[in-house]
Structure 1
Amino acid sequence: MALSRIWSAFIIIAIVVASIKCFFLGETEIFNLMIVGKASDAGNVLKVDGIIETCWTAVNICLKLIGIMALFMGFMAIAERAGGIRLLSRIIGPFFSKLFPDIPKGHPATGHMVMNFSANLLGLDNAATPFGLKTMESLQELNPSKDTASNAQIMFLCLHASGLCLIPVSIIAVRASLNSANPTDIFIPCMIATFAATMAAMLIVSFKQKINIFQPVILAWVLSISAVIAVLVLYLTSLNTAGLQQFSGILSNGLLLLIFLLIVLGGLYKKINVYDAFVEGAKGGFDTSIRIIPYLVGMLIAISLLRTSGTFDMVINGIKHVCALMGADTRFIDGIPTALIRPLSGSGARGMMIDTMTTHGPDSFAGRLSSILQGSSDTTFYVIAVYFGSVSITNTRYAIGAMLLADLVGVCTAIGLCYMFFG
C-alpha cells in the first residue's frame, strides 16, 4: 500500500507542477517535454527522456538483463545441485540465524544472500542483481503471506539497498576522464559512508523486528567485517590510481571467475549433469527478467515525470534558499541533486554527477560530494520495483521507509565526510 501511495504521489505532484508551469509561468513546452522528452544538445552530457522513451528504457533494461540473469542463475543451479549453496549457508549460518531468525538453518536463501552481498561488495552489479532476485525467490518460499513482504525479505532488501561497496571503480574512472588531479581521493569517504548506511539499515530493521543486535555472534561478525575493511583501506591508500584500478579488477573479476570454476568443479565432483543444470537455471533467469517489466515500467515513468516536470529543481532551489536564510554553508547544495535522484534513477544520478563535475570541476567541493553520494547509496525505488515485483509482492510494509532512512544516514555521513576530508 505504501508503494502505491508513493507512486500515485509522484505522478500527481509532477502533473500539478507541470500544469502550474504551463498555465501560470508560460512554459508551454513542458507537457511535450514530459511525454516526448528532449535530445541532448551538443556538448551537453544530459538527455531528458519523456515517458515514451522511458518505457523503452525500462524494457531495454529487462531485455539486457535476460542474458545476465540466464548466466548467473544457470551457474547458481549447478551450485545448488552440487550442494555448494547449502555449504555456504552452513558457514555463514551462525550469523544469519541471528539476523534472519525466520530462515531455517541451512536453507539455500542464506547462500544466495551471501553471493549477493559479496557481489555488491566487489562492485559486480551485473552479478548482484541475479543473486538478489534468486534470494527473493528463495525467501518467498518461506513467506506465509505471498503478497506481503516478510521480515527476512525486508531485512535482506534494506541491507542490499544500502549498497556496501569496497571500491567505486566506475566513479574513479569518470573522475579520471574529467582530468581530476587525484581521482581516487573519494574512495575512502565512499566506503565509510556506504558502511554507515549499511549499519543504519541493519539497526533500523533490527529495532523494528525486535532483533537483539548485541548478541555476541552479531557483534563478532560486524567487528570482524569492520576490521577487514579497515585493513583494506590502509592497503588501498598506499596505491596510486593505476594500482587501485588494477587491484580492483583482479579482485572482483578474478574472484568471479574463481566462483565459476569452483561451481563447475563441484558439479563434476558430485557427478551431476552440469550443462543440463545450467540450462534449467538459465530458463528461470529468462522468466524472472520478463516478469519484472510491468513493475519497472510503472516506477520509471513516475520518476521520469518528476524529473521532467522540474519538481527536482524546485526542491533543490528551496533547500538552497532555506540554508541561505539560516546563514548555513550552501556549498553542499550543488552536490545534492545526485543524492535526490540516486534513489530514483541510477543513470539519472550518474548524469547529474557528471554534470556537477563538469560545471564545478571534478576536484571542487560539489564535484567530490556528488561522487561520494553516487558511490554511497543505491537506487532504492528501482530495487523496490524490481525485487518485490519479481515475487509479486504488493504490500511492502515498512521497507521503503527503512531504506530511505538508511539512505538519509548515508547522505548525511557523505556530506560530513566531504567537509572533513576536503573542507
Structure 2
Amino acid sequence: MVLNVIWLVFFFGAFIACIVQWLAFGDTGIFNKAILGAFDMSKTAFEIALGLTGILSLWLGILKIGEKAGAVQILAKIVQPLFSRLFPEIPKGHPVVGTMLMNISANMLGLDNAATPMGLKAMKQLQDLNPNDDKTVASDSQIMFLVLNASGLTLIPVSIMTYRAQLGAANPSDVFLPLLLSTFFSTIAGIFALSFFQKIKLKDPVTVMWLGGISACVIAVMFYFSHLTAEALGTTSLFISGLVLFGVIVAFLGLACYKKVQAYEAFVEGAKEGFNTAVMIIPNLVAILVGVAVFRASGAMDLVMNGISALLGLIGVGNDVVPALPTALMKPLSGSGARGMMIDAMKNLGPDSFAGRLSCMFQGAADTTFYIIAVYFGSVGVKKTRHAVTCALIADAVGVIAAIVIAYIFFPPFH
C-alpha cells in the first residue's frame, strides 16, 4: 500500500512539475525529457537485473553447498539466542538464520555484490516460513530482515573512500569514523522502531547482552581503525573483505569434503536459482527505477530540494548542509543517483569541504530503501509491505540526522 502511494506520487509529482516548468518557464521539451528518462531507466533496470544473474548464480551456488554441508546450520546456532528474539517466527535451528547472518556480514563489509544474492536467498526462505494465509503480505521476520538491510550498518566503506581518493581528498579515510557512527545509530533506530510495531521486548537480558556486545565490537573496530593511516586503512579494508569472502568459500568446500557432499552438483543446483530470481526481480526493478527517473528528470526533485532548504533555514540549519542534501534525498530512491550526486558535490565544492564530506556520510548513512523493498519483496511476490517502509525510512532519517550532527562535530565548517 505505502509503496503504491509513493510510486504514484513519483509520476503525479513529475507531471505537475513538468506543467509548472512549461507554463512558468516555457520549457516545451520537459515532457519529452521525462519520457526519455523513463525509457533510459527501464533499459538500465533490465541491465542491472541481467548483470545480477551471474553474481546470483555464483553465491546461491556457494550457499547451496554450505546448506547441504551443514555450514549454514552452524552459523544459525551461533546467533540463535539473539535471532530467536528478533525473529520469533523462525523455528530454532532453521538455515535461514545462517543465510541472514552472512548477508548482514557482507553488508557491514560493504560487499554489495555478495550481500544481494544472500539477501534474496534469505527472503525466499523467510517466505517459505511466512505464517500469513495471504502470502503477498509481508511477515514480521521479512520486515525485520529488510529493515536491517535498509539501515545500512557499514564497518568498512571501501567504495566511498575510493571515490574520495580519486577526487583528491587529503585524507580519504577521514569519513570512516563519522560514517560508522551514523550507520550504527541508523540500525539501532530501525530495531527500536520495529520493536514498537512488532512488540519485541528489547529489555530481555539476552537481547541487551547481544546488542551491548555488538555495540562494544563497533566501538573496538572504530578505535582500531582510528589509529591507522589512510593507506593502511585502505589496505586493511581490502584484505579483510577478500579474506572473509574467500574464507567462506573455502570453509564451505572443506566442510562439504568432510561431510562427503558432492560440491559441484550442489553448486549447480543452487546456481539455477540465480537465473529464476533475476527474472522475478525485473518487473519490480523497472517499476521503482522508472518512477525515480521520471521524478528526477521532470525537475520535481529540484523543487523538493528548494522547499527543504527553506524549511531548514527556518529551524536554524545552516546553508552548509543544503549542497549535500541531494545525496540524502536520492539515496533511498537510487544508489547510482545518490553516488552521482555525492561525486558532483565533491567535484564542485571539494572533497574536503563540509558539504563534500557530508555528502559521503549521507551516501553511507542510508541505503537504497525503495530498491531493496522492490527487489527483496518482489523476488518472493510480497505486495503488502505493512510497516516495512515506515520503519526503514525512520532508520534512514535517523541516519541522516546523525550524519549532520556528527559532521558538525568532526568537520565544523569555517566561515
- Give the structure-2-normalised TM-score: 0.97
1-side partners of 2:146 and 2:32: how far apart? 36
Q: 2:96 aligns with which of 82, 94, 109?
A: 109
SS in 1 for 2:228: coil
1:23 shift after superposition: 2.9
C-alpha distance in 1, partners of 2:316/2:197?
Answer: 37
Q: 1:10 to 1:280 in 2, by over 3 A?
A: same
Aligned to 2:378: 389
Paired with 1:32 and 1:327, the residues of 2 have a C-alpha distance of 39
Flag the 1:419–1:144 CA change in 2: closer, same or farther, 3 A: same
Q: Which residue of 1 aligns with 2:13?
A: 13
- 5 Å-filtered alignment, 1:395-414, equals 395-414=384-403
Shift in Å at residue 261 of structure 1? 0.2
Hey, what does 1:369 align to over in structure 2? 358
- Amino acid across the alignment from 2:271: A
Extract unaligned runs of 5+ from structure 2.
Answer: none
Q: CA deviation at 1:144?
A: 2.7
1:280 to 260, 269, 279: 269
Aligned: 1:135 with 2:122: yes
Alignment match of 1:147 (pick from 136, 140, 143):
136
- Displacement of 1:211 in angstroms is 0.6
Per mean C-alpha deviation after superposition, the further-off stretch among 386-395 and 315-324 is: 315-324
| Paired residue secondary structure (2:221) | helix
**Deviations along 1:13-66, whole A, 9 cap, x unmatched?**
111111221133211121121122xxxxxxxxxxxxx11110110000011100
Please, which of 276, 284, 290 is the counterpart of residue 295 of structure 1? 284
1:71-220 to structure 2, matched below 5 A, reads: 71-145=58-132, 146-220=135-209
Q: Aligned runs of 1:220-369 on 2, under 5 Å? A: 220-325=209-314, 327-369=316-358
What is the alpha-carbon root mean square deviation over aligned residues? 1.0
Distance 1:34 1:314 in 2: 15
Q: Which amino acid aligns with 1:231?
A: A
Q: Match of 2:321, SS?
A: helix
1:63 and 2:39 matched = no
Cα distance in 1, alignment partners of residues 89 and 373 from structure 2: 21
Alignment coverage as a number of residue pairs:
410
Deviation at 1:327, TM superposition (A): 5.0
2:168 maps to amino acid: N
Q: What SS class does the counterpart of residue 258 from structure 1 fall into?
A: helix
C-alpha displacement at 1:104, in angstroms?
A: 0.5
Per-residue CA deviation, residues 277-326 of structure 1 (Å, 9 max, x unaligned), is: 00000000110011110000000000001111111111111222233355
2:33 maps to 33
Q: Does 1:420 align with 2:409?
A: yes
Query: What amino acid sits opposite 2:126 in the alignment?
Result: L
SS in 2 for 1:363: coil
CA distance in 1, matches of 2:327, 2:31: 24
Q: CA deviation at 1:108?
A: 1.1
Match of 1:165, SS state, is coil
Structure 2 CA distance for aligned equivalents of residues 325 and 165 of structure 1? 33
CA–CA distance in 2 between the matches of 1:329 and 1:95? 41
Work out the percentage of aligned pairs sharing the same amino acid: 49
SS at 1:239 equivalent: coil
Aligned counterparts of 1:326 and 1:158: Cα–Cα separation in 2? 29
Give the equivalent residue in structure 2 for 1:41: none
Name the CA shift for 1:4/1:324 in 2 (closer, same or farther; >3 Å).
closer
Q: Report the CA distance between 1:406 and its aligned residue.
A: 0.9
Counterparts in 2 of 1:359 and 1:144: CA distance versus 1, 3 Å:
same
Distance 1:274 1:30, change over 3 A: same
How has the CA–CA distance of structure 1 residues 328 and 248 changed in structure 2, closer, same or farther, with 3 Å as cutoff? closer
**Inter-partner Cα distance in structure 1 for 2:225 and 2:312:** 36
Of 19-28 and 321-330, more deviation after overlay is shown by 321-330
Q: For the residues of structure 2 that align with 1:325 and 1:398, how far apart are their CA atoms?
A: 31
Change (3 A) 1:214 1:269: same
- Alpha carbons of structure 1 residues 88 and 336: separation in structure 2 relative to 1, 3 Å: same
* 1:123 Cα deviation after fit: 0.9
The 1:340–1:80 alpha-carbon spacing in structure 2 relative to 1, beyond 3 Å, is: same
